[in-house]
Structure 1
Amino acid sequence: MSARRLTLLVAGAFCLGACSSLNPFSSSNTKIPALKPLTAVAKTAEVWRGRVGSAGRFVFQPAVFGDAVFAAAADGTVVKLQAGRNVWKSSVDMPISGGVGSNGRLVVVGSPKGDVLALDAESGKMKWRVSVNAEILAAPVVSDGMVVVRSADSRLFGLDPADGKRRWVYQRALPALSLRSSAGVVQEGNAVFAGFPGGKLVAVNAINGSLMWEGAVAVPRGATELERIADITSLPVLGSRAACAVAYQGRIACFDLANGSTLWARDMSSSRGLDQDGRHVFVTDEKGSVHALDLSTGSSAWKQDQLAGRGAGRPRVVREYVVVGDVEGYIHVLRKDDGSLVGRLRAESSPILADIQLSGGDVVVQTQDGSVYALGVQ
């Protein structure tokens, strides 16, 4: 057995054992805390519902473009939904492990064996297929000029959207142990932002794959390799002037979007992720509590700990609210200015592990059993 293979096995054992929060399917006897009665202020309602199929052991997030929603299942099914109606349903004839990415013209997914498959967004027909020779767990990013794919070994591939031809590869040295993650990349203009094992956030040129800047979100600390794991396992978020990211067993930090200089950083552990608006950064910590931090200074604005222990996911900002999903299939609505819980809806009991997506004033959710639905929050 190779040293590299051993490293991956050890990392997997660590995630399954010591880091049950990173593995929602682990056999944990921890009881999920009961929800307290709620006097709803925000109105929540199901707008539409569709279905794609089970995610299995993977995590799929739907892609929203205009009024179209694209979703994938582990068995190779890809669907296009509009208002919950199936516009088309295709099979790529192989398992899918990463997806979905779309720019409204292409729909791109990845396979456990490293195949990248692009479908026509109008018809669902296959346009091209290429291989990057590594498992794909994250949703690709699709723009008019480039398809960016992240492999499970944290390499970034820039592919031509016309035919899938490889244009560039970005890779960096990784620590001995790292966490298995479905976190992908975010693109803004000609810059691609990605978090890496070891706590680094990088900006990469989307045209040629060259490094534009890097910032240290977290610095690995501890006496053992396990203690020194400080990986960014969620998407960075971008605002008008700041790029922010958070690391497991590390810190949350914001950087100047143009040059990568550190604006502020503070200790906080999260594998779930974060969001921001013009005033605050919202983050779900490792225990499941949701925080609002001042975007300029990092100081605490509020903390909501009633969701602790419920496997709360990445928070998303919807107008004056913050919405968060959990492992029992609930969507929780928090008031953005003070963190108070003002709404709740449970469309079904399947876990919500994928990032909630936004579609106008609605939120789009894909559950692990394969339901895809839109919720209105007012």
Structure 2
Amino acid sequence: MRAARWTWLAALAALACGPRMETVRVYPAGDPAARRVVRFERTLEVTPPDLFVLRPEEHAGVSVDPRRHLVYAAGRGARLLAIELDRGDVVWEIDLGPSEVGSVPVVSDDGRRLYVGTEDGELLCVDLEGRKIAWRYRTEGTIRMPAVLDGDLVYFTNSHQDVFALAAADGRWRWQYEREVVADVNTIEGRAGLALRRREDEDADNLLYTCFDDGKVVALGARTGEPLWIASVAPPEGGPFVDCDATPLLLEERGEVIVTGRATGVFALGADDGAVRWRFPVEGAGTVARGPGNLLVVTSSLAGIFGIEVGGRLRWRRSVDPGVVSPALVVDDDVFVTHSEIGLLSYDVETGETLAVVRTGSGMSSTPVVDRRTGRLFALSNRGRLYVFALASQPWAVGG
């Protein structure tokens, strides 16, 4: 067990003009375990308050641009903010309307473009040099998963069971993979994103892995959209909640892709053939995150948060209060998740011990993001406020 633990030295007075934030001390002041520090830096309004929405949800997020030393944030307010990373000043902003933003923005490798999806089914490409929308591509379903870039193509999924490949430069359609929308069966709201596998053989097509509401997992050729294999993680007997809404996780060194079924749990499938390698049952399982060594972290809004070892052995489990829990973000020895009714939660990755609870007053539905270069963690609250924390225990963290 680590001797160092978390305490929270948040300057709560800075929130006097914003929503109330409550920090729960897991360790009493003066306890020898309370050595590590996550320090609250600031909060910023991304989405203007809407008093007519009783329980808002913010599914968008942020993306860091190290070239320009900016962080991009977008949300229900249908605007993109470029925020200076250290001071927190808004450098510029553009209107993305009329659609509300629903996904985490993704910046291209060359730093010239940003891609983001909307609740109305549009993928937007923003010209970051010209600070304007370069193109829009309209689909029939909500886009909440981040786009994936590979060469001259951009890939994304929507809630209508579609996978699209577009030309990254101008948004021209290249290919589309469709599955039938599941009817007369209860499914949980959500849609899996994409995992890209780049293959070393130049003659071999790269692969995209994703999941669907009918419980199917599909490996697609990145150039053509043709399926290499299709597997199922739905219960053989069928029933409600057969969907697979979690973005696959690739374990390249093992030749495995990790996926989850809402009713069946965690599966390791062969990356080349889709054959089941091992399974761990978890009710309501969501996206799996990679931890240190052979540890995986899976979140479930029904069953809690689990640390499992590759191969399917349980290491630890922690219950959570009722609400929706985000996919985990693992930063070194610590696990961060957001909770729709609470805010931000942190756990020890090795033991599952609760380290910190930050109540934002409106909860959080977006997935937290870390910038390892500056040692900052970002998360959007359901009221549309961006919270910034410094992971001050890390040697690369700012602010000491």
> TM-score normalised by the shorter chain: which range applies?
0.7 to 0.9
Contact 2:192 2:212 in 1 (8 A): no
What is the Cα deviation at residue 69 of structure 1?
A: 2.6
Letter in 1 for 2:261: A
Provide the secondary structure at the position in 1 that maps to 2:105.
strand
Can you list the C-alpha shifts for 1:49-73, whole angstroms capped at 9, x where unaligned?
A: 4332169556213233435432222
Is it true that 1:38 corresponds to 2:26 in the alignment?
Answer: yes
Counterparts of 1:98-113 in structure 2, within 5 Å, are 98-102=102-106, 103=108, 104-113=111-120
Mapped partners of 1:249, 1:212: distance in 2: 25
Spell out, residue by residue over 1:237-259, the C-alpha distance to the aligned partner (whole angstroms, 9 max, x if none).
Answer: 22333321222222211223344
1:168 match: 175
Asked if the contact 1:288–1:313 (Cα under 8 Å) also holds between the matched residues in 2, the reply is no
Structure of higher CA gyration radius: 2
Residues 147-170 of structure 1, C-alpha deviations (whole Å, 9 max, x = no match) = 112122110110101100000001
Question: Given the superposition, is the C-alpha separation of residues 71 and 204 from structure 1 closer, same or farther in structure 2, using an over 3 Å criterion?
Answer: farther
Match of 2:283 in 1: 269
User: What code does the residue aligned with 1:89 have?
Assistant: E
Question: Does residue 344 in structure 1 map to residue 338 in structure 2?
Answer: no
List per-residue Cα deviations over 1:151-196 (Å, max 9, x = no partner).
Answer: 2211011010110000000112343234331543233433222121
Measure, in 2, the Cα distance between the counterparts of 1:52 and 1:144. Answer: 31
Mapping for residues 29-68 of structure 1, pairs under 5 Å:
38-39=26-27, 40=34, 42-53=36-47, 56-57=56-57, 59-66=59-66, 67-68=69-70
SS in 2 for 1:352: coil
The CA distance in 1 between the partners of 2:354 and 2:385, in whole Å, is: 25
Q: CA deviation at 1:197?
A: 1.1
Q: What residue in structure 1 maps to residue 225 of structure 2?
A: 209
Which residue in 2 is equivalent to 1:180? 189
Corresponding residue of 1:315: 328
Question: Could you say which residue in structure 1 is the equivalent of 2:165?
Answer: 158
Give yes or no for contact 1:199–1:220 (8 Å, CA) kept in 2: no
CA RMSD, aligned part only?
A: 2.7
CA distance in 2, matches of 1:54, 1:239: 40
Percent identical: 21
- Give structure 1 stretches of 5+ with no counterpart: 1-33
Correspondence for 1:90: 94
- State the partner residue of 1:281: 296
Deviations 1:97-128 (A, max 9, x none): 43233223322233444332211123421111
* 3-state DSSP of counterpart to 1:100: coil
Q: State the distance in 2 between where 1:45 and 1:148 align.
A: 36
Write the letter of the residue equivalent to 1:371.
R
Q: Distance in 2 between matches of 1:301 and 1:92?
A: 44
What letter corresponds to residue 265 of structure 1 in structure 2?
A: R
> Structure 1 stretch 277-286 or stretch 254-263: which is displaced more?
254-263
Change beyond 3 A, Cα 1:153–1:341 = same
Residue 260 (structure 1) aligns with = 274
In structure 1, the partner of 2:346 is 333
Q: Deviations over 1:310-339 (max 9, x none)?
A: 543322211011112222443222111111
Instruction: Please tell me the residue identity of whatever aligns with 1:166.
Output: W
2:234/2:264 contact within 8 Å kept:
yes
CA-CA distance at 1:288 after TM superposition: 5.0
Q: Is the 8 A contact 1:221 1:228 kept in 2?
A: no
Which shifted more, 335-344 or 39-48? 39-48
1:345, 1:42 → 2: CA distance? Answer: 16
Per-residue CA deviation, residues 122-145 of structure 1 (Å, 9 max, x unaligned), is 342111123234443433333442
The match for 1:117 among 124, 139, 157 is: 124
| Structure-1 separation of matches of 2:214 and 2:44 | 39
Distance in 1 between the 2:288 and 2:299 partners? Answer: 7
Residues 354-369 of structure 1 mapped to structure 2, 5 A cutoff: 354-360=366-372, 361-369=375-383
Shift of 1:46: 2.3
Q: Distance in 1 between matches of 2:72 and 2:242?
A: 32
Match of 1:238 among 230, 246, 250: 250
Offset from partner CA, 1:332-369 (integer Å, 9 cap, x none): 221111111123344x3222111222221433212222
Letter in structure 2 aligned against 1:238? L
The equivalent of 1:140 in structure 2 is 147
CA apart distance, 1:206: 2.2
